[in-house]
A = this chain, B = another copy of it.
Amino acid sequence: MTAQVSRVQDFGTLDVTKSVRSRDVSGAVERLTALVESDMDRVNQTIIANMQSDVTLIPQLAGYLIASGGKRLRPLLTLASARLCGLTQGDEAINLAASVEFIHTATLLHDDVVDDSSLRRGAASANAVWGNKASVLVGDFLYSRAFQLMVADRNLATLKTLADASAVIASGEVAQLTTANDLGTNHQDYLDVIEAKTAALFAAACQVGAEAARAPEAEIEALRTYGHNLGMAFQLIDDALDYSADQEKLGKSVGDDFAEGKVTLPVLLAYEQGDADEQDFWRRSIERLDQNDGDLDRAKALIARHDAIAGTVAAAERYGARATAALASLPPLSDGVQDIREALEDVITFCVVRGH
């Protein structure tokens, strides 16, 4: 049993299959990458070729973000889903996987503008280097390129899936603007926001892989469900890490969510269980954004007192268990793809234990 998994088990709610627990999940994403390596190389080539432009600022800015060490988790899910559904040559999944990464990158660029973030993946964010204007417009460019790539595949099912996901993502981002700084946000509102801003693209990334493979409806649905629940778990842990992570390991600014007054699950749980004094603190710091030195430390201490990180991780584990169940619901697969299924299982656990 690995250190990471034991750490999660401390929260007492781990619910993953025995087979996952018996494997080391720390390199799960890397192992999945290795399994689809030649396809992933082509995705990277497609990404690089399609961010070129005579307008040199576009490849500069896009390349900065795209080359800055993201795990390419979403395009990886597209490739793995396509393989799992029997697409032995990845041809039809390459453009889709690149499109998914472009849509993701476009949302990161716009997110950083909206959040006034100065760090992304451990380096200065693109808007900090090139300014908000360039980030908005290069985001638009990448988003358009994503649609050009999808149109080139001439598959209306995958076009619909990613157009729908994009609309959900955008509306979720707007919803997040309106729930920010409101401690009256209920758990369902919070879950709706993370569904839209994160889980929708994870779900679509898996779904289009299955659609590219012309998989039966039940397989498409199972992979979509896997992606959705994986995305929910991923974002819950992201929100936990913003109060609990080692900044260097996380590669983003710890405390960003607090500084912006984002109402995430760790805050909601601590607020709901807090006494009058504590609730006053949260209202001042999160709702009125009246923050002083030491407030982030106090927020962390209150979150720890009320086991709000553990509560958030527990919620992530519940989604992780649903992702595991969705994978298990797939019909028996050909021998050649059993390793991909196992790697996708391990990715669930990785997403839950990462950074802790």
Instruction: Show the binding face of A for B, using Cβ within 8 Å.
Output: 53-58, 107, 110, 113-114, 132-134, 136-138, 140-141, 143-145, 147-148, 150-151, 154, 156, 159-160, 163-164, 166-167, 169-171, 173-175, 177-178
> How far, in whole Å, are A140 and B139 apart by their CA atoms in the complex?
10
Cβ–Cβ contact A55 & B174, under 8 A = yes
> How far, in whole Å, are A171 and B138 apart by their CA atoms in the complex?
8
**How far does the Cβ of A88 sit from chain B's closest Cβ, in whole Å?**
26
> Contact check: which of B113, B141, B148, B167 meets A144 at CB < 8 Å?
B167
Cβ–Cβ contact B144 & A163, under 8 A = yes
Cβ–Cβ contact B143 & A174, under 8 A = no
> A137 to chain B: which residues have CB within 8 Å?
110, 114, 170, 173-174, 177
Cβ–Cβ contact A156 & B151, under 8 A = yes
> How far, in whole Å, are A177 and B177 apart by their CA atoms in the complex?
27
> Contact check: which of B57, B107, B150, B171 meets A174 at CB < 8 Å?
B57
3 tightest Cβ-Cβ pairs between the two chains A and B:
A141-B170, A144-B167, A144-B166
> How far, in whole Å, are A169 and B138 apart by their CA atoms in the complex?
11
> How far, in whole Å, are A134 and B113 apart by their CA atoms in the complex?
11
> A113 to chain B: which residues have CB within 8 Å?
132-133, 136
**How far does the Cβ of A135 sit from chain B's closest Cβ, in whole Å?**
9
> How far, in whole Å, are A54 and B171 apart by their CA atoms in the complex?
9
> A175 to chain B: which residues have CB within 8 Å?
54-55
> A178 to chain B: which residues have CB within 8 Å?
55-57
If A55-B175, A57-B174, A136-B113 touch, whether A151 touches B159 (CB-CB below 8 Å) is yes
Cβ–Cβ contact B114 & A177, under 8 A = no
> How far, in whole Å, are A341 and B186 apart by their CA atoms in the complex?
57
> How far, in whole Å, are A144 and B165 apart by their CA atoms in the complex?
9
Cβ–Cβ contact B177 & A134, under 8 A = yes
If A113-B136, A134-B177, A159-B159 touch, whether A53 touches B171 (CB-CB below 8 Å) is yes
Cβ–Cβ contact A164 & B136, under 8 A = no
Cβ–Cβ contact B177 & A148, under 8 A = no
Cβ–Cβ contact A163 & B141, under 8 A = no
Contact sample, A vs B, 22 pairs, CB 8 Å cutoff: A54-B175, A55-B174, A55-B175, A55-B178, A57-B178, A107-B140, A113-B132, A132-B132, A134-B174, A136-B136, A137-B174, A138-B170, A138-B174, A140-B169, A141-B174, A143-B170, A144-B169, A145-B167, A147-B147, A147-B159, A148-B163, A148-B167
